[in-house]
Chain A
Amino acid sequence: MKWQEVKASVTILGTKVRKDKAQLSVSVKRFVKKLENISDNEAQEVLEEKNYVAALGICAQDPVGNGSNISGGEVYSFQTPKRSNKMAELASELAQTPEQNVAPDHSKCPEKMAKTPQNSKRSSSDKVQQKSKKKEFVSTTPYRLRKRLAAPDPYLESESEYSASCSEEEDEDEQKEVSTVLSDQKTPAKTKAASTPPPRNSLAKKNKEQKMGNLVEEYFEAHSSSKVLTSDRTLQKLRKRRLSQQTLHDLLKNAPLAYAAEIRDLNQQHESLFSKWMLQLHLGFNIVLYGLGSKRDLLEKFRTSLLQDSVHLVVNGYFPSITVRSILNSITEEVLDHIGTFRSPLDQLEFITKRFKEDSSLELYVLIHNLDSQMLRGERSQQILAQLSSLPSIYLIASIDHINAPLMWDHAKLSLYNWLWYETTTFNPYVEETSYENSLLVQHSGSLALSSLMHVLHSLTLNARGIFRLLAQHQLEKKDNPSYPGLSFQDFYQQCREAFLVNSDLTLRAQLTEFRDHKLIRTKRGADGVEYLLIPVDDTTLTDFLEKEDEDV
């Protein structure tokens, strides 16, 4: 899918460039505008017919007004880097005028205007002033701004030089901002381009091209330097504000949902499609839902309103330990009432296929929340699910969220799935989907890992706990060493012996096997063939664990 989209956008650009060179930039701007005036459909339709659609031969005015029909260029063009310093601006502005739009309004706040990039190169003194102003935000501004500030003074010189020779300042605006992050050698070339001002139309186009070139270079520049310029602050310092999963959940539960009415409207629109989905499922299509927002509730509602009387299977794809095997198992065991195991998922699939083909009265609805989740996105899993969905009496309705989800499927799988795509932007928060421990930020609380650690260890002998403690302590001592490989088995054995925890290396090995079975430790062989032991838990959790252990003892 992604490939298709990209291709589409390329087609547009291609035809545009050839057909109406002069209009290029104009029409691009029109597209941007188009998004905003949704109300006047008339004009928009004309626009689309003339520009975007002409390239594809489609009139795509969506009656529901969904957003998937904006031009590809709109999405795939690079973000204009002129907003690079806006994060800080945004912050301060929002803090001052909480009820206002974020977009800088020049007429209303003239003192802000000095800061906007448009004026950034009027004079070098201005620039300096501006910089000093910016410095206030240093702590809150990531990477870009800091990089800018870190840039040596020569920039300033080259910039003022450049602006003196530049006749088309307005047009060059955006590249200017780009060039500030680029190396100095870029500047002469650009000055040359600007010093012989071509007719305005072609200039606009040239600008576009240049911008493109700069952006590409910028991309590689940003990705080539291994050095990362961000502040060194860590969440450790904000410790008191760290939340556990439970408190987070409670807090969010109490938080009012913004735009509840609008979201409800949106969802109602989608719900009116239920019967259509049902029909299309029965006609041999499968349905995939995409768009921002959790589609869990929508699918749940679909299930409760239409599938009550039929056999159906709900798969929570976002669940961290879901596997294709478990999906297949629940089909064979619970739907087909088959007891017995299979050698491989493929065998199992074959069995299912056979059963469904034999018995035409069998029907099964499969609802998969997040078909694109970590556990299901693998090639083999998708292949099996695709084959499953291609059975005529299995009806699959699934949701995807990841931006690259369509890349999972090649043509063969797509034809097996036989998708009909439905845009169902719900704006519902992803409550369930993100509630598992592997989420960012919350991960650091590690409460789940901690409780499972405690749980397992409590069922072990005192000696075993001692052994684990020893390993944990050792690991914490070395926590500042990023290349710490783990404790070698020999050393560990020595230490355990000294602490009177084991009497032979066999007992230790037996103990370690038990740990490994519970996934408490991980072993790996170093380059020298020595076995290293490591607890795959982050340091804070480990510290917490040791503290708890101390309390217990």
Chain B
Amino acid sequence: MFPAPDFRCTSNDSEDTELRFVTCQSLWNQIKSETEQIQENLNKQLLENLVSFLSRSHSDFQEKTTEWTFKMKFREIPTAALVLGVNVTDHDLTFRGLSDVLQDNITPYVAMLEAKDCPGIKNLMQKLMGQLMNCDLDVDSLEDEDCVQVSQNRVRCSMPSLISWYDSVTKKTDSETPSKKRNSSSRHWQSPPVVVVFKDMESFTTKVLQDFIVISSQHIHELPLVLIFGIATSPMIIHRLLPHSVSSLLCIELFQSISCKEHLSTIIDKLLLTSQFPFKLGEKVLQVLINIFLYHDFSVQNFIKGFQLCIVEHFYSQPLSVLCCHLVDIKKRVYSLSHDQCENIRRLPSFRRYVEKQESGKQIELLTNDSFLKVETKKLLEDLHVYHENYVRILRCLHVFTSSLPKYPLGKQIRELHCACLENRVWETEEYESSLQLARMLNKTDLVTMLQQCVEILMSSSGKEFDRAVEKLKEFLTQFQNLEASQERDVSISPQKELQKKTDLYHLQKTLLELKESRRSKKLTKFEMLRFEVVDYIDSLVRRYLVPADERTLHEVVYFNGAAVLRGHLNAAPRTALHTALNNPHWYLKNQALRCDGGGISNKAPDICIVYKLHLECGRLINLVDWLEVCDDANSTFTCFHARFIRAVSELELLGFIKPSKQKTDHVARLTWGGC
């Protein structure tokens, strides 16, 4: 792609840089196409609905039926209100997909308008016509550019000219029916509708929207116009932006895109909870990404961007990431490792822990014999793959249980459960304990359906790992069925008993007390026994398979754990950095003279820090003369003091802490809070 950059630059990095870079790129490309696929699938339904709506709205015009004229009499413009959610950054992708689909299926005349291009109705019309005529150009790319450029400039941007353009274009396609046109005319209808998309409805000025709607409604019988509003908040906004007189000109149909949370869940499901990709995220990293999503932007695009950054960082900083590849390549890659890389493996903390557990002979082999190490590494890496595959299955099984418990002690979403399991041994947590407690109180029907789901999940795995587990679960299921049969008999007896004893209150009370007594003393019913067994079995599976990743040997190879780096790059806090630098220069400049305790500041600190500290003591306005003198007293030993003061003040101004004030001569105003 491009020659220069790869990972060649870190310190210990003669190792496999090129291969790492290639692996990284190919992995990212796979993931990227996967995410695009996901997005497409998720939007499929929405787009289909929209397309059918558009073809409906336009078929009337096509056939010139009475219904259309009827509608036309009321001058209603067919309008699709597309509720997309607050994750504005993701909308672009949806719209791109939409316009592609429309141009393929319905009409070549699609115009996308954004509020920032349309401050007035004139600009809107200009933009609209420009886009429409350009797409015309795309369809029959015969006319040369200049011609269109000229016409675009010359044509007065008004509705009539738009209509005459539309007439000419449709006529042209009508008359011009030779073979080369057949393709496009078969794709589109005879007089395709003109679709105008308002990408960000909320940001348009009311007047522009109103004017456009009113004007175009006058011409709806000449021009089959369809509007699409992209809405980020709620459909109510249409009525807030448009008065009744205007909104009554629209025939609105509502469309809802999938929520961004669902989208994220799918992405996590398809990217992380799968063995398709060798690269994995550590707990903290995942938490950072999810938090950015939930607390900052709801943007799936940004989540994916963060994921990309994780991949890049991992492959860049971890020389052993060369082993982060698909199972089939592992053998080749492991055996071609250099000696330095072997040393890198030996240095991994998880590997050291592993070595310590081995007997002494093997320890020596592992630490001295490279080829022995390679064999072992290959085995460990394969184990890791297997571990992950099993982990995902059992995680899903556990999620089946936890997601239906009241109050969701382990979280409702599978991602929460995943984080909890990655963080530490989930079975040692309180939440897990309480979910087991709750699971022991599930009723039978729920339990049976859950078991069935688990069986399905485990059956879908290719390996033989879970054959026994499946068998066991099936056994539980049959036991439940048997139980049902036997219980029916029990049940049939008890109501008879009840019926016999419908005498007086005293007796009733007595029997109830007896019943209570017996229940307390009574041994668990068969069902309860079985339920305990099931829960215990699930618990044993969890303990066996949901071991946190960082307890696995060589997890560093595939798990990325640089949460701090990630956060620094994606969710930076520039104000905090500035604040720290000004208040505590020692944080950055490791000089003993700058060490200071508790709020004070050394007078040897850089000028700007001193000036900043002093300015904090002031009110809304600061007299420059006083400020200068205070500093002067503090630092009079220096000759060019005045100049340095001036510089420091200018710097503070540049940083936005102060600005010159007109209120009083030679005063500056503070722009930040605090201590006022």
Report A's interface with B, CB cutoff 8 A: 1-2, 4-5, 7-8, 11, 35-36, 38, 56-63, 65-70, 72, 74-75, 78-81, 83-84, 86-88, 90-92, 94-95, 98-104, 139-144, 147, 218-219, 222-223, 228-238, 241, 243, 247-248, 251-252, 254-255, 258-259, 262-263, 265-266, 274-276, 278-283, 285, 290-293, 318, 346, 363, 383, 400-406, 411-412, 414-415, 418, 420-423, 425, 427, 429-430, 433-434, 439-443
Contacts and interface: CB of A to CB of B under 8 A. Distances in A.
B260 to A, nearest CB: 12
B596 A142 contact: no
A298 to B, nearest CB: 14
Contacts of A439: 646, 650, 653
A259 B618 contact: no
B291 A291 contact: no
Contacts of B299: 411, 415
A243 B643 contact: yes
Interface stretch (B348-356, B359-367, B403-411, B659-667): B659-667
B674 A78 contact: yes
B305 A418 contact: yes
A15 B102 CA distance: 48
B508 interface: no
B236 interface: no
A95 B4 CA distance: 56
B634 A95 contact: yes
Contact of A291 (B89, B569, B578, B594): B578
B296 interface: yes
Nearest to B91: A412
B625 A231 contact: yes
Contacts of A8: 295, 573
Given A252-B640, A263-B589, A420-B569, 9 more contacts: A72-B573, A88-B630, A101-B603, A143-B619, A230-B626, A254-B640, A283-B308, A405-B574, A440-B650
Given A235-B625, A292-B577, A223 B647 contact: no
B585 interface: yes
B308 A70 contact: no
A133 B619 CA distance: 22
Contacts of A443: 660
Interface in B4-22: 4-9
B644 interface: yes
B634 A415 contact: no
17 contacts: A7-B296, A11-B295, A35-B580, A66-B577, A69-B576, A79-B674, A94-B635, A142-B627, A262-B589, A266-B589, A283-B312, A285-B309, A403-B672, A427-B581, A430-B654, A442-B646, A443-B660
A255 B587 contact: no
Contacts of A62: 564, 568
B490 interface: no
A411 B581 CA distance: 28
Contacts of A7: 295-296
B646 A248 contact: yes
Given A83-B617, A142-B622, A440-B624, A68 B577 contact: yes
Contact of A68 (B288, B312, B572): B572
Interface string B222-254: 000000000000000000000000000000000
A476 to B, nearest CB: 16
Nearest to B622: A142
A416 to B, nearest CB: 9
A509 to B, nearest CB: 31
B646 A243 contact: yes
A251 B81 CA distance: 65
B297 interface: yes
A102 B601 contact: yes
A314 B633 CA distance: 41
Contacts of B9: 274-276, 279
B596 A276 contact: no
B113 interface: no
B579 interface: yes
> Which of A4, A292, A400 neighbours the largest number of chain B CB atoms within 10 Å of its CB?
A292
Contacts of B603: 94, 98-102
B619 A406 contact: no
A74 B584 CA distance: 12
Interface residues on B, range: 35 or more
A103 B621 contact: no
Interface in B69-90: 88-89
B116 interface: yes
Interface centre among A60, A98, A219 (most CB of B within 10 A): A60
A101 B650 contact: no
B656 interface: yes
A222 B571 CA distance: 33
A78 B673 CA distance: 7
B314 to A, nearest CB: 13
Contact of A4 (B296, B568, B607): B296
B286 to A, nearest CB: 9
B640 A251 contact: yes
A252 B284 contact: no
Nearest to A424: B577
Contacts of A241: 642
A142 B646 contact: no
Counting chain A CB atoms within 10 Å of each CB, the highest count among B295, B573, B616, B618 belongs to B573
Contact of A67 (B284, B581, B618, B620): B581
Contact of A60 (B564, B580, B650): B564
A295 to B, nearest CB: 12
A346 B117 CA distance: 9
Given A57-B291, A84-B617, A430 B651 contact: yes
Contacts of A233: 623, 625-626, 666
Nearest to B598: A103
Q: Closest 9 CB pairs between A and B?
A: A103-B600, A67-B580, A421-B572, A275-B9, A143-B619, A292-B581, A79-B675, A94-B634, A415-B89
B589 A87 contact: no
A207 to B, nearest CB: 18
Given A292-B581, A440-B646, A61 B291 contact: no
B563 interface: yes
Interface string B283-298: 0100110110001110
B673 A219 contact: yes
Contacts of B588: 66-67, 262, 266, 425, 427
B445 interface: no
B273 interface: no
Contacts of B650: 430, 434, 439-442
Contact of A87 (B89, B604, B608, B617): B617
B664 A228 contact: yes
B395 interface: no
B571 A4 contact: yes
B668 interface: yes
Given A57-B291, A60-B567, A94-B633, A68 B573 contact: yes
A423 B581 CA distance: 11
A240 B295 CA distance: 56
B572 to A, nearest CB: 3
Given A58-B284, A293-B581, A279 B655 contact: no
Nearest to A247: B643
A283 B27 CA distance: 13
A279 B618 CA distance: 46
B641 to A, nearest CB: 9
Contact of B7 (A38, A279, A402): A279
B506 interface: no
Contacts of B675: 78-81, 83-84
B284 A87 contact: no
Nearest to A241: B642
Contacts of A252: 640, 643-644, 647
Nearest to A33: B598
B160 interface: no
B667 to A, nearest CB: 7
Contacts of A430: 647, 650-651, 654
A403 B578 contact: yes
